[in-house]
Chain A
Amino acid sequence: MNCKEIKYFLLGCENPDRPPADVKAHLAVCHSCQDWQNRLALIEMNVPFLPVPASATRAQLLRKVLIQPRLVGADDLSAVAAAESLTETRVAIKDTVAPVSRVIEPKSPIVLTIGRSSSRRGAGLLHFFRDLEPSARRYAAGGLAAAILLVIFGWMVIRTPHRPPTPGSQLARSSSDPLLASIVERDLRLAGAERPSTRFLALADLADDLSGEVKKLAPLPEAKGVLDELVKRYQKVVRHGLLEIAQELSAKDRDELLNTVGERLHVAGRTADELGEQLGAKIPNSSRDALRRLTKAAFEGDRQLRDLRVQTFQQEPGNIRSPDGSALVRRDNP
């Protein structure tokens, strides 16, 4: 042991003037430690003679301890009964406290069964807190607060509804895809459509489904991967669906349908363009690019449908208009 360890040991031991043999051996050869031990022993010897300020707290505390009812469990009653062969237990407090005596009997009101009175226990808890040292009270308050927080969070976790995997209850995993359902419905309309006008309108609806989905997903940066595919499908429906079937439309309702669907394409293109402008730098470049391509395809489709209207108009006997179709205006649909 070195000098430092010896000093620590002496500070910690109950009787620094009576150290163990190994410490004694060191002290015998180390004068510095010996002096240190002597001073420590002197301090220790004089501590009991320090003046103590008068206080009644000790007496009050002892009185409280003795007055408070002792909690005895039902199982302890037999033990209490056995102990009560002495009919009376008297506790006398020496010095400052007047003698206090309590009788503990098996059927006495102070023999409480557990859970008897919550208000009394609450009051007891309050007294317990009040009687604590200020520092201990802080720790106890902190511990109590932590326990309450734990209970509240536990309650929240328990209250969070656990959704078993029942139909329609899971998030995207289980909920049906409206786009898919809509496309199936369009396909079945196409499968049963006898007239080109019905197929033309079904394809226009399909195009709207796709452009609508693109516009819905465009603000989400995570959607950049799927937007490209949806726009490709949109382009295909417009270029290889609508424009092809448009050629088959009967003269009777051709102009009306071309006007209607052309207008829908124009609106789809314009809203996609506006959305791209509005979102600006908030979305990835690929998403902006997808919106631009959708706009282009829609405007291109609209332009080609208008060209068809011009051709139709020019082919009708008696109609003489300029080849660019400038006389052709879009009619407002109801």
Chain B
Amino acid sequence: MKRYLSLFLLMISLAALASADEPNAAPSDLGRVWQVQRNQNLVQELVEGGLNLARSEDHLQRARYCNELATNLAEEIRQAADDHDGDRAIELGRHLQDVLQNGVAVNLNKERAQVPHGSTRETEMNSVRIQSGDITDHLLKELDQILKDNPAALEQVLQAIQEAQATVAAAGKGK
């Protein structure tokens, strides 16, 4: 009789265990370590870039530094796409969009307000703009191929980059 009672209690416990709600899966500590480790190089580049930006008061130079940050982000996006990690590509795509729009384009616009048309500085501005265009052009072409197995992610990343590209292309042209 005791044996049957024990068996019954065991089954009740297991049923309770099975029906219990799973705890919400917060990112685990190990996952966080892995995340920081994965972004280690990018963090290093972004901190260096931040220090460069802090030291510089020249808008054109800041736009160049932002292009360097964009280059690093583009490389990481490419890597994420290679790894079929669409979510990471989206995350980095948004950062790239921010850097291009609020870093490169904003500084080009500020520079435009200070330099006359036809000046050497204007040529340098165009050069920075072309450099930004190259970064995004290459990335768009490659992502189209690499990320085609994840159309939802591809669409979001492409949209972010294209919007940024359009903003930079228009930046510093009017006065």
Binding site for B on A (CB under 8 A): 141, 145, 148-149, 152-153, 155-156, 159-161, 165, 167-168, 170-177, 179-181, 183-184, 186-188, 190-193, 199, 202-203, 206, 210, 213, 216-217, 220, 222-223, 225-226, 229-230, 233, 236-237, 240-241, 244-245
**The one of B18, B22, B50, B98 that contacts A203, using a Cβ cutoff of 8 Å:** B50
> Is the Cβ of A241 less than 8 Å from the Cβ of B4?
no
- 4 nearest A-B pairs in the assembled complex, by CB-CB distance: A172-B31, A174-B87, A190-B53, A191-B103
- B175 within 8 A of partner (CB): no
Q: Which of B1-42 contact A (CB under 8 A)?
A: 3-4, 7, 11, 14-15, 17-18, 22, 25, 27-37, 39-40, 42
- Which residue on A lies nearest to B101, using beta carbons? A188
Question: For B47, what are the chain A residues with a Cβ–Cβ distance below 8 Å?
Answer: 183, 206, 210, 233, 236-237
Report the count of interface residues on B (CB-CB < 8 A).
Answer: 55
> Is the Cβ of B15 less than 8 Å from the Cβ of A152?
yes
> Is the Cβ of B15 less than 8 Å from the Cβ of A187?
no
User: Would you give the shortest CB distance from A230 to chain B, in whole angstroms?
Assistant: 7
- B165 within 8 A of partner (CB): no
> Is the Cβ of B106 less than 8 Å from the Cβ of A192?
yes
Known: A168-B87, A203-B50, A237-B51. A226 touches B36 (CB 8 A): yes
User: Would you give the shortest CB distance from B71 to chain A, in whole angstroms?
Assistant: 14
Known: A167-B153, A191-B65, A226-B36. A220 touches B43 (CB 8 A): no
Binding site for A on B (CB under 8 A): 3-4, 7, 11, 14-15, 17-18, 22, 25, 27-37, 39-40, 42-44, 46-51, 53-55, 62, 65-66, 69, 85-88, 90-91, 95, 98-99, 102-103, 106-107, 152-153, 156
- Which residue on A lies nearest to B66, using beta carbons? A191
Question: For B98, what are the chain A residues with a Cβ–Cβ distance below 8 Å?
Answer: 184, 188
> Is the Cβ of A226 less than 8 Å from the Cβ of B107?
no
- Which residue on B lies nearest to A213, using beta carbons? B36
> Is the Cβ of A179 less than 8 Å from the Cβ of B39?
yes
> Is the Cβ of B37 less than 8 Å from the Cβ of A159?
no
> In the complex, what distance in Å separates the CA atom of A171 from the CA atom of B87?
11
